[in-house]
Structure 1
Amino acid sequence: MPDFLYHSRRLLLSYSIEGLLRFMYWRKKRRRSGAQISAGTSLAEPIPEHPQSPEDFRPLENTCFQNPYRFYAMLREQYPVYRLQNGIYCLSRYSDITDVCRNTELFSSTHQGAIVGLKPHQSVVEEGRKQDRLAALGLTPCDVLAVADQPQHSNDRKVGHKGLNSRFVKSLESEIETQCRLLMDKFVDSGEVEFMQQVGWRLPMQIIIKLLGFPAEDYDKIKYWCMHTISTQSGVASSVEVAKSRAEILVFIRYCWQQLAIAKNHPRDDLCGVFVSAALDPSNPMTDQQAVSSIFQLLVAGSDSSATSMGNALKLLIENPEVEQEIRADMSKLDNFVEEVFRLEAAFQGHFRWTKTDTVLHDVELPAGSRIFLMWAAANRDESVFENPDKVDLNRANGKRHLTFGHGIHACIGRELARSEIRIVLREFLLRTKNMTISGDAPFVASMFAHTLQKLPLRFDVVIAESHERAA
């Protein structure tokens, strides 16, 4: 009876709030009547090609989205703790970021959903508590895995690792290869593809859906929900867009609850079953809410990070033909190239932390509750760590020291799966195509959080089948 009452109330509240958000979206959109300026459009004076002052770094403008790295270099050199107009402090140096990652007593990973849209009079702690109450009701995701603090984080990670350890990922390689070849079979003879739609987004999502044991036909709606979830962290979404995205997240969370219930009623040996077992184990502190949130987080991460890196990998390969030729001559160098892709084009440009107590960084006072953006992508090109940091170097000795998967206890548990997926896709393209070119515009999504290609149109010549057979 308590479970019945809990879920009845959860559904009633979820549908009610969804309806309110959709009404708000409709009303705001109607008021604006098409006059809204699209996100990422620059309204200020042009950004200089070689930035010299912090005012030149305007991370919510399109120029910065498309190529943020010269701005990151300026911050690393001159403004290691830089405060944006919205009050968020940006850290860009490798050593500062790794120090923060290791100091979990001072810097919290929780309340990520409250950080970006926080207003000047609001407290991250108080807004985070409001979110915690909604999460306890089963309406929104709670802080788990990448956004949990100790001691909960260790348990979340232990549970997740059971389903995503390196041995298990290794066993998936034949399945990833099969899925990749099936996708390529649909377009390879045509000599062209819009990579992001036909492969980049689709393959990682198909894999994570299968690992969780969810219906394959749910791909389109899960991808749609993940897109809305990520957009709330972009920093440029309007209040109209945020209202719509939050409504879609409510639907997404209901779906995750539904899938958890199915897995409870019909036990199975998959990744969802791992979380079900943990939630049912009286000796394990994982709750149903945390299990649902873990599933939600894995779907969102699985939908975007690998897709982003795949697209960026092919783009980098085409833009560096000498590197492509070097890999074609020695395919063992493909692993090193994948690490260079992660380093040079981090899928997520950074993640947030907030200060639990007052502290000082580089003589900048950070009061308790200060929001911090750890700029993985800036640290990945730190000259003090990586020699010739803007260059693709297949012989880089410390290539795996990049921070694309985070650092410390919050290093991404899906990193080996991402490596495997991207390596296999690149290998299949190298084996089955040649003379690849980018055949149209390949802009990045408007976001200070994710560095994702909106599209990547490719043309290529087809390699005769026997080359493909050798890898089968």
Structure 2
Amino acid sequence: MATATLDTEPDYFTDHAVLLDPYDYFERLRAHGPVCRMPGRDILLVTGFAEALEVLLDARDFSSWLNPDPLTPLPFPVESEDIAAQLASHPSTEMELLVSYDGDRHAAARALLNPLFVPSRLKANAAFMRSYAQDMVQEILARGSCELVGEVATPFVTMVIADLLGVPAEDREAFRALIDAAPPPGNMDAGNDGQSIHPLLAMAGYFARYVAERRAQPRDDVMTEMALATYPDGSTPEAMEVVKSAMFLFAAGQDTSAKLIGNALRRLAEDQPLQQLLREDPAEIGPFLEEVLRLEGSTKATFRIAARRTKIGDVDVAPGQRIVVSLSAANRDPRRWEDPTAFVIGRPRIKEHLAFGRGAHTCAGAQLARAEVAVLLECLLAATQAITLDEAHHGPADARRVEYEPSYIIRGLADLHLKLA
């Protein structure tokens, strides 16, 4: 089967016209098949649910080397039918991150995060999360309004992850400042200059100090457990590998969760009956969140490169072929989801959505993200009678004005002004 082209479409990676409604863009390309060539690019776009699963579950044929920048040039010519070894021996960026690792290396790096997700640590973090959420809600309720993304969601998620990782209290405001100053992952305005990793490099300095201190003088804290963690084979990782795992969880988890909170609250602010349903029955917050994840999750796409000649569905894929897997489009594939653009709480098999990916690279912090959003929503709904959009900022219902962050990875509002009663 030949792949289709649509050369009149805007460029997904640079054109801000795609930001407001990327779903319409994906649907227009879906009309050319569940796998098609992106306009103006030698890149395949996967919009089909089954085809996305095929790629995400096949870590042998489809390498994660390209993440987080699908436009990274290959540092070698593609001259064979199998480039897996070449990919493994060439770092994709100056500071490789967990998201770009493959195979055993990826599994070993994820194992370093295990101390964070034991029940005792999650229980302690949940207590901090709820207390911090309640304090934030009381503060904004006293004002009667807030800008949710910058004043609530971002600091809330930043402090929750800092607590989970055991970042010392005296350093947490510095981490928050780094996050506030950072451009979004997949920054459409950054070109290909690597600016988006600069805040991560600053964080690396903090985490390197924590790891060195804990290895020299262990303490009874989670940072020591991470610093002393071993690979599954019992070997001790280089300190920088621990640093990179912690740093990636902090940065990646912060942005996606904060933007997910914004996406969820915008939907609630536009639907008072839905708000009231969740106030009266908080057990529905979980199913509500799963449908938000499916319909407007905060990660639009992930990226792969073909390590060898293969297929996606019935489309031939050459070694070195770049691939954009649209999680957003797969979650709206009409072949998988009935009435895919409708918001339906309680869809059958809803947790099969791909908002957190699938396979070896399934989001390590998926359960943490669900908890963060659910706890903040529960606290907000319990303390209010109505949450509405501030029309002074966003316009009336028939002429809404919203802006999204300039990212080809993240689906998230730049700001969301709310009124609380």
In 1, Cα distance between equivalents of 2:213 and 2:26: 46
In 2, Cα distance between equivalents of 1:250 and 1:172: 26
In 2, Cα distance between equivalents of 1:67 and 1:271: 41
TM-score by length of 1: 0.77
Q: Structure 1 pair 61/221, CA: closer, same or farther in 2 (3 Å)?
A: farther
Q: Do residues 401 (structure 1) and 352 (structure 2) align?
A: yes
Q: Do residues 174 (structure 1) and 134 (structure 2) align?
A: no
Match of 2:55 in 1: 100
Q: Is the 8 A contact 1:201 1:307 kept in 2?
A: yes
Q: Structure 1 pair 450/227, CA: closer, same or farther in 2 (3 Å)?
A: farther
Which residue, 142, 164, 177 being the options, matches 1:211? 164
Q: Structure 1 pair 143/345, CA: closer, same or farther in 2 (3 Å)?
A: same
Which residue, 134, 156, 159 being the options, matches 2:109? 156
Q: Is the 8 A contact 1:116 1:233 kept in 2?
A: no
Q: Is the 8 A contact 1:166 1:416 kept in 2?
A: no
Q: Deviations over 1:202-257 (max 9, x none)?
A: 11110111222223343454345446766452344235xx3654554433322321
Letter in 2 for 1:211: L
In 2, Cα distance between equivalents of 1:157 and 1:297: 11
Letter in 2 for 1:350: A
- 1:89 counterpart SS class: strand
Note the C-alpha offset of 1:453.
1.2
Note the C-alpha offset of 1:121.
8.8
- 1:207 counterpart SS class: helix
In 2, Cα distance between equivalents of 1:432 and 1:248: 35
Match of 2:16 in 1: 62
In 2, Cα distance between equivalents of 1:101 and 1:252: 29
Q: Name which of structure 1's ranges 78-87 and 303-312 shifts more when overlaid on structure 2.
A: 78-87
Match of 2:312 in 1: 361
Which residue, 279, 282, 298 being the options, matches 1:331? 282
Which residue, 362, 371, 374 being the options, matches 1:411? 362
Q: Do residues 449 (structure 1) and 403 (structure 2) align?
A: no
Report matched runs for 1:80-99 at 5 Å: 80-84=34-38, 85-99=40-54
Q: Structure 1 pair 385/165, CA: closer, same or farther in 2 (3 Å)?
A: farther
Note the C-alpha offset of 1:415.
0.9
Letter in 1 for 2:312: L
In 1, Cα distance between equivalents of 2:220 and 2:43: 43
Q: Is the 8 A contact 1:114 1:127 kept in 2?
A: no
* Structure that is richer in helix per residue: 1
Which residue, 336, 359, 378 being the options, matches 1:427? 378
Q: Is the 8 A contact 2:130 2:375 kept in 1?
A: yes
Which residue, 281, 306, 319 being the options, matches 2:257? 306
Which residue, 96, 106, 110 being the options, matches 2:65? 110
Q: Is the 8 A contact 1:343 1:381 kept in 2?
A: yes
Q: Is the 8 A contact 2:63 2:102 kept in 1?
A: yes
Q: Is the 8 A contact 1:376 1:403 kept in 2?
A: yes
- 2:409 counterpart SS class: coil
In 2, Cα distance between equivalents of 1:152 and 1:130: 14
Note the C-alpha offset of 1:277.
1.2
Q: Structure 1 pair 321/447, CA: closer, same or farther in 2 (3 Å)?
A: same
- 1:115 counterpart SS class: coil
Which residue, 132, 144, 152 being the options, matches 1:199? 152
- 1:357 counterpart SS class: coil
In 1, Cα distance between equivalents of 2:232 and 2:327: 36
Q: Is the 8 A contact 2:179 2:199 kept in 1?
A: no
In 1, Cα distance between equivalents of 2:17 and 2:111: 41
Report matched runs for 1:233-248 at 5 Å: 233-238=186-191, 242=193, 244-248=195-199
- Specify every segment of 5 or more residues in structure 1 that has no aligned partner in the other structure, as ranges: 1-51, 135-139, 462-472
- 2:411 counterpart SS class: coil
Q: Deviations over 1:263-321 (max 9, x none)?
A: 32342344432321125999235332211110110111221111011111110112233
Q: Deviations over 1:35-70 (max 9, x none)?
A: xxxxxxxxxxxxxxxxx9563353232231111112
Letter in 2 for 1:314: L
Match of 1:74 in 2: 28
Note the C-alpha offset of 1:93.
0.7
Q: Structure 1 pair 55/343, CA: closer, same or farther in 2 (3 Å)?
A: same
Match of 1:460 in 2: 420
Note the C-alpha offset of 1:414.
0.8
TM-score by length of 2: 0.86
- 1:286 counterpart SS class: coil
In 2, Cα distance between equivalents of 1:341 and 1:69: 14
Q: Name which of structure 1's ranges 70-79 and 376-385 shifts more when overlaid on structure 2.
A: 70-79
Which residue, 125, 131, 138 being the options, matches 2:91? 131
Give aligned-pair identity as a percent: 25
Structure of higher RCO (CA pairs closer than 8 Å, 6+ residues apart):
2
Q: Is the 8 A contact 1:163 1:270 kept in 2?
A: no
Q: Structure 1 pair 62/190, CA: closer, same or farther in 2 (3 Å)?
A: same
Q: Name which of structure 1's ranges 352-361 and 123-132 shifts more when overlaid on structure 2.
A: 123-132
- Specify every segment of 5 or more residues in structure 2 that has no aligned partner in the other structure, as ranges: 395-401
Letter in 2 for 1:427: E
